[in-house]
Each structure stands twice: as C-alpha cells, then as structure tokens.
C-alpha cells in the first residue's frame, strides 16, 4: 500500500512538472522582463496570443509622464511595411492596440520607448510573435485540459507500474488510452475547430505539431494494447508508450501550431476582386 501511494505521488509530481515546463517554454507564454530608461525601471509582460474578435491590447505601466512609447508591428512572414502606432496614456499606463487578425493569423511586434532624448526597444534583440484565435467555450476547453492531464498522469503511473511489474497494469493501460482518446482525439479537434477553424491540421493534412504529438501518443498506446491483448506480456511496449508520451508532453505547447498563410489569403482576396 505504501509503495502504491509513493508511486502515485511520483506520477503526480512528474505530470505537474512536465506540464508546467511545457507551458512555460511554449510560444504562447508571455514575454516578461525589465528595462531601464532614464531613472525609470519598466516591468513588462507582453502577450503572445489573443482570443476573440477584438484588437489585442499592449500595455506598459510607466508612471513617468515624460516617457512616451510607440507600438511597431506588421503581419508575420510578410513583406509588409512596419506600422508605427503611438501608445496612448491612460493614467499610469501606456496602451496600444494590435489589429485583430483572422484565426491563426500572426503579427510580430516590438515597442520603442523614448525619454529625454534616449531610446530603448522592448524586448531587446527579438520581436514578439503573437497569434490570434477564436474563442473556445470554457466547458469544452476545461474538459480537454482535464482529460489531457489525466492522460499524462495515468500514462506516467502506468509506466511506473510496468517497471515494478505491478498487477494493475492492464487497468491503467485502458484508462490512459481512454483519457488520451477523449482529451486528444475527440476534444482536441473540437478545440482546434473553435480556435483556428479546422478540426485537424496534423498528418496527413498538415504539419501541426500539437495534432501530430497527439497522434503519435495515441498510436503508441494502441500498439501497447494490441501487444497486451495478443501476447499478454507487454511491459516493454507499455513502458515505451509511457516514455513516448512523457517526451511528447515535454515538447512546448503550440510549437509549430496552426499558422495562417497571408500570401495565400492575399492572393485569394485579389482573385475575388478580379472576378
């Protein structure tokens, strides 16, 4: 009993750790930092995703009214000219707006701050890429996240059970597969449809890494079930499926995710005008 509890605690720690790492290293995680201009230290948090049909606000808290800022942006992976928009002061905040984009559209942006003849760019050495998406109903998103968390948890616990040659391995294998199927194969495409307008953009229709990660994890567990049912002894296959799932969960969330092709969109708009 004591070993079982310890294994569950270890599985929970591994699951939470991998998911926190995945989120914090993903391309949607905000860019944060500090910059000094004049005698003012600016703490900034710049978002890299925006949901809905509104413009994306970009806000810097700078109480010093002598400091001004300009928001500079353009569509990602295009030859567009950079657009310069002065940020408007609202109390202690300087605020700018990035124009809303179609689902999966991206803008790259940075901020130029000026004070008494000096100028700083936020952030240093890089431009921020933000992606726009549609609104996913909260209950669908919540179920998706819950099932995926339990999928990772039971995957980890199943792998540990395989290592210790425990007796509950068959139950754990089926529960893992069920959670991943419901969270990734059923609810995942629904979330994708609401957010980016397509149910599936992974293999064989596209290169969306999130979809492809889900597919690989699902296939690995289906193979483990097949071997378990046919040959009864499948601990090696089960541990391999658990390890594959763990590695997949370490890959940053939304990396190589859905991305609007502006050149294709612009060509279609020109064709519509010509017709």
The interaxial angle of helices 209-231 and 138-164, nearest 10 deg, is 40
pLDDT tens, residue order, the chain (275 aa): 578 889 999 999 999 998 888 777 777 889 888 888 877 888 889 999 999 999 999 999 988 888 999 999 999 989 899 999 999 999 999 999 999 999 889 999 999 999 887 888 998 878 999 999 999 999 999 999 999 999 999 999 999 999 887 778 899 999 999 999 999 999 999 999 998 888 887 777 777 778 888 899 999 999 999 999 888 788 899 999 999 999 888 877 655 567 777 877 766 665 555 55
Q: Which helix (H) or strand (E) holds 261?
A: none
Residue 273: its pLDDT value, please?
Answer: 55
pLDDT at site 140: 95
The predicted pLDDT at position 259 comes to 76
SS3 124: coil
Closest C-alpha among 246, 239, 194, 191 to residue 216: 246
Name which of 54, 81, 84, 56 is nearest 69 in CA terms. 84
Report the SS3 class of residue 5. Answer: helix
The contacts of residue 195 (CB under 8 Å, 6+ apart) are: 51, 103, 133, 134, 136, 258
Identify the CA nearest to 71 among candidates 40, 114, 37, 29. Answer: 114
Is residue 160 exposed (0-12), middle (13-18) or buried (19+ Cβ within 10 Å)? buried
Q: Residue 263's pLDDT is what?
A: 78
Query: How many residues are listed for the chain in this entry?
Result: 275
- Write the CB contacts of 199 (distance below 8 Å, at least 6 apart in sequence): 189, 190, 192, 193
29 token code pair: 């995680």
pTM: 0.83
Long-range (24+ apart) CB contacts under 8 A made by 228-236 are 228/170, 228/173, 235/162, 235/165, 235/169, 236/162
pLDDT at 156 (0 to 100) = 95
Which domains, ranges and CATH numbers included, belong to the chain? 2-26+136-262 (no CATH), 38-133 (2.60.40.10)
How many other C-beta atoms are found inside a 10 Å radius of the C-beta of residue 229?
Answer: 11
Q: What is the pLDDT of residue 56?
A: 97
257: which 2 tokens? 């995710």
Closest alpha carbon to 136 in 98, 192, 184: 192
* % helix, strand, coil for the chain, step of 5: 50, 25, 30
The first and second tokens of residue 271, run together, are 């064709």
pLDDT of residue 266: 63
Rounded to the nearest 5°, which phi and psi values hold at 126? -155, 160
* pLDDT of 128: 93
């Amino acid at each position: 009993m004591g070993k079982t509890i310890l294994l569950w605690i270890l599985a929970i720690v591994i699951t939470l750790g991998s998911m926190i790492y995945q989120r914090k290293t993903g391309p949607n995680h905000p860019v944060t930092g500090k910059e000094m201009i004049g005698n003012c230290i600016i703490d900034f948090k710049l978002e890299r995703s925006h949901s809905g049909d509104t413009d994306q606000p970009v806000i810097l808290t700078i109480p010093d009214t002598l400091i001004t800022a300009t928001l500079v942006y353009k569509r990602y992976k295009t030859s567009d000219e950079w657009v310069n928009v002065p940020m408007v002061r609202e109390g202690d905040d300087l605020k700018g707006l990035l124009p809303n984009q179609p689902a999966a559209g991206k803008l790259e942006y940075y901020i130029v701050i000026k004070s008494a003849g000096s100028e700083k760019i936020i952030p240093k050495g890089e431009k921020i890429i933000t992606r726009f998406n549609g609104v996913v109903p909260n209950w669908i998103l919540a179920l998706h996240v819950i099932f995926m968390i339990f999928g990772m948890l039971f995957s980890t616990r199943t792998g540990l059970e395989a290592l210790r040659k425990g007796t509950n391995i068959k139950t754990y294998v089926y529960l893992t597969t069920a959670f991943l199927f419901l969270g990734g194969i059923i609810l995942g495409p629904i979330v994708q449809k609401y957010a980016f307008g397509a149910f599936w953009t992974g293999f064989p229709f596209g290169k969306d890494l999130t979809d492809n990660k889900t597919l690989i994890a699902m296939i690995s567990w289906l193979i483990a079930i097949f071997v378990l049912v046919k040959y009864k002894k499948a601990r090696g296959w089960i541990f391999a499926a658990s390890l594959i799932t763990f590695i997949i969960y370490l890959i940053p969330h939304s990396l190589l995710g859905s991305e609007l092709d502006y050149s294709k969109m612009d060509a279609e708009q020109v064709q519509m005008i010509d017709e």
